[in-house]
Structure 1
Amino acid sequence: MDRSVIEAYVAGPAKLRAAVAGLTPDELRARPGPGAWSILEVVVHLADSDDISIDRMKRMLTEDNPPLLYADETAYVERLHTHDQDIEDALTLLEVGRRQWARVLRRLPDAAFASTGQHNRRGTVTVGEYVAGYIDHIDDHLKFIIGKRANLGKPLPTA
């Protein structure tokens, strides 16, 4: 197990925080079109999804190949008033959740990252795949946020 993956996992929320910095509440809530999510909804989705992923990893590490059920992210956004949540709270949840979970991950033996669960849509998954997948999850949504900022006339400053 390449332990640098854990540090990349912990770093994701800081990249997200930087990507939304300086946006007004109206800009955070602006939807690019029908059925599309706002930046706020994306950030809240990421926090919700991380909660679910950490629970799944805990179960994979403590149970024998547990069942892992699909969560309907669209239903979460549509039915849980995601549009009215606080972005700072969502960012803090992501930061604290990943920081806390990374403490566990750092103490695991390499073999633990091969612990499995049975996802009802994806089949067999491992803890290692989840850690890597949730790095990609933030990175994939960052592309949307960067594009949305550009469309709002507020591109991210280049270094």
Structure 2
Amino acid sequence: MLQRPLENEYPEYYVPYVNLVSDGDLLPILKENLDATIALFEGISEEDGHFRYAPGKWSIKEVLVHMTDTERIMAYRLLRIGRGDQTPLAGFSENDYINGSQFNQLPIKNIIEDFIAVRKSTITLIQNMPEEAWIRKGFANDKEITTRAIAYIILGHAIHHCNIINERYLSVLK
């Protein structure tokens, strides 16, 4: 079972994400979160997918695109650091990724399918990571981080955004 990372294994700005992950075996929790995320977004109509709870905020579809892009990038970091690659990894601008996406032209169903594919890939990556890889350290965005911290951040980030969808978007739409 993958152990929860210590706070010195990741930058402080990830603490809220890691804290959202409940104790227990991470793989079943990742799978449960996948099911919950699918259920959440499948309940959103195409029209509501364009809803923004305030001017300048992302639409529901943009939030899901962001969740998917971030998980894809973080899984890549997990792979590189977990395999012992010591090459520093660059940061990324989440807004650049949203601006470079074609979410408006895609049905929400397609965006959900992309998230599912990425999450399933993340799960197999974590399942097949050797035990000794979890405490390996690397640098991403000029900050030191461990492989196991990245796994927890991936899940915590998804939980964070699902909470926001429920609290700031769906509460207004209902």
Q: Establish whether residue 90 from structure 1 lines up as the match of residue 128 from structure 2.
A: no
* TM-score normalized by the length of structure 2: 0.77
Kindly state the Cα deviation for residue 136 of structure 1 after the two structures are TM-superposed.
0.7
Q: What pairs with 1:1-159 in structure 2 (closer than 5 Å)?
A: 1-2=2-3, 4-121=25-142, 123-147=143-167, 148-153=169-174
How many pairs were matched up? 152
Unaligned runs of 5+ in 1: 154-159
In 2, Cα distance between equivalents of 1:97 and 1:140 = 17
State the superposition RMSD in angstroms: 1.9
Deviates more, 1:86-95 or 1:26-35: 86-95
Deviations 1:68-107 (A, max 9, x none): 1111001211232333333222222222222233223223
Matched residue, 2:13: none
Deviations 1:35-66 (A, max 9, x none): 10111111111111111111111111234322
Kindly state the Cα deviation for residue 125 of structure 1 after the two structures are TM-superposed.
0.8
Unaligned runs of 5+ in 2: 4-23
Deviates more, 1:3-12 or 1:38-47: 3-12
The structure whose RCO (Cα within 8 Å, separation 6+) is larger is 2
Kindly state the Cα deviation for residue 108 of structure 1 after the two structures are TM-superposed.
2.7
1:67 to 1:19, Cα distance in 2 relative to 1, 3 A: same
* TM-score normalized by the length of structure 1: 0.84
Matched residue, 1:156: none
Contact 1:46 1:138 in 2 (8 A): yes
